[in-house]
Amino acid sequence: MKGKDFLTLLDIDQNKLMELLKLSLMLKENLYSDCLKKKTLAMLFAKTSTRTRVSFETAMTHLGGHALDLKWEETNFVKGNIKDEARVLGLYCDIVMVRVFNHNQTLKIAEGCEKPVINGMDDLYHPCQALADLLTILEVKKSFKGIKLGWIGDATNVFNSLMLGAKMVGMETVAAIPEGYEPRIKTNATIVRDPKKAAREADVLVTDTWVSLGFEKEKEERIKVFKPYQLNSKLLSIAKKDCIVLHCLPAQRGYEITSDVLDSPQSVIFQEAENRLHTEKALLLDLI
């Protein structure tokens, strides 16, 4: 993948996906290296961030490189031509990570920049999160074979990316999503309305916020619609006894997930969060 972009999981095939996951496991055991010495990552943020910002900057530091934290509103991306500005970033830096509101912005930046561009999240995809989710499932379950993944709630950017990944590794996916909130991309998941159908005999249960960045004006309506789609102990009890729980964070406790589930022994949510660091290291090494 040297020199290529990573905008969605469609940019890689199954073999490359498994290579990245295996490399992530190796890097998790060996945190530090100087493989990216004198290399620079430009991180461009139009959205708020905790995990993406800290994990990418830490990843570059561990690998001997350097990361620049650029706020969209403090750059000339706010008034200049996006492709021109992206081209300039490519002249200075070895790789660029963008976290923007619109997928079209991601595409324009990748088109303008001659260096590899990573999609750190936009309205349609969150491929870096999907890599961490898949690594966590592989760590705990040891294999993707025969795994049923149950998604509960909104068809977010995380859903879109995780469903692409689930298809690539052969997991069965059943997603409980209310009418009118279906995914904006073609998915291999079975869409149902009843959360119990998604949770029944599931090996993995996943949820995400009901009010994603950019949807704050719809907050009250969304809370009403998604209230029956809460991942709580009653729903978890329908899944397999060794079912694990994932959430990309930040979580709105008491809304899409209850605290007793988030903090339960079946929750691997913070292991999942840590794995952002390791999968992003693998991605950086593979792209630069």
> Residue 129 catalytic?
yes
The CATH number that applies at residue 60 is 3.40.50.1370
Q: How far apart are CA 257 and CA 208, in angstroms?
A: 8
**Are both 121 and 35 inside the same structural domain?**
yes
**Among 196, 198, 141, 149, residue whose Cα is nearest residue 171:** 149
Quick one: pLDDT at residue 218?
Answer: 84
**Are both 133 and 254 inside the same structural domain?**
yes
**Among 103, 19, 28, residue whose Cα is nearest residue 62:** 28
Bridge-based pairing state of the strands 148-152 and 95-99: unpaired
**Are both 101 and 140 inside the same structural domain?**
no
Q: How far apart are CA 101 and CA 214, in angstroms?
A: 7
**Are both 192 and 247 inside the same structural domain?**
yes
Options 51, 62, 103, 276, the catalytic residue: 276
pLDDT by 10s per residue, the chain, length 288? 777 999 999 999 999 999 999 999 999 999 999 999 999 999 999 999 999 999 999 999 999 999 999 999 999 999 999 999 999 999 999 999 999 999 999 999 999 999 999 999 999 999 999 999 999 999 999 999 999 999 999 999 999 999 999 999 999 999 999 999 999 999 889 999 999 999 999 999 999 999 877 778 889 999 999 999 999 999 999 999 999 999 999 999 999 999 999 999 999 999 999 999 999 999 999 999
> Residue 13 catalytic?
no
**Are both 261 and 281 inside the same structural domain?**
no
How far CA 255 is from CA of 155, 189, 250, in Å, comes to: 16, 24, 12
Q: Which helix (H) or strand (E) holds 62?
A: helix 51-62
Quick one: pLDDT at residue 145?
Answer: 97
Total domain count, the chain: 2
Q: Is residue 220 part of a domain?
A: yes
Options 5, 62, 129, 222, the catalytic residue: 129
**Are both 152 and 113 inside the same structural domain?**
no
> Residue 66 catalytic?
no
> Residue 200 catalytic?
no
How far CA 30 is from CA of 24, 37, 62, 63, 278, in Å, comes to: 10, 16, 10, 10, 10
Options 126, 222, 247, 278, the catalytic residue: 126
**Among 256, 243, 171, residue whose Cα is nearest residue 209:** 256
Q: How far apart are CA 257 and CA 36, in angstroms?
A: 39
| Structural domain harbouring 263 | 129-270
Bridge-based pairing state of the strands 148-152 and 204-207: parallel
Options 62, 99, 247, 278, the catalytic residue: 99
Question: Could you tell me the strand order of the sheet in which 172-176 lies?
Answer: 190-192, 172-176, 148-152, 204-207, 244-247
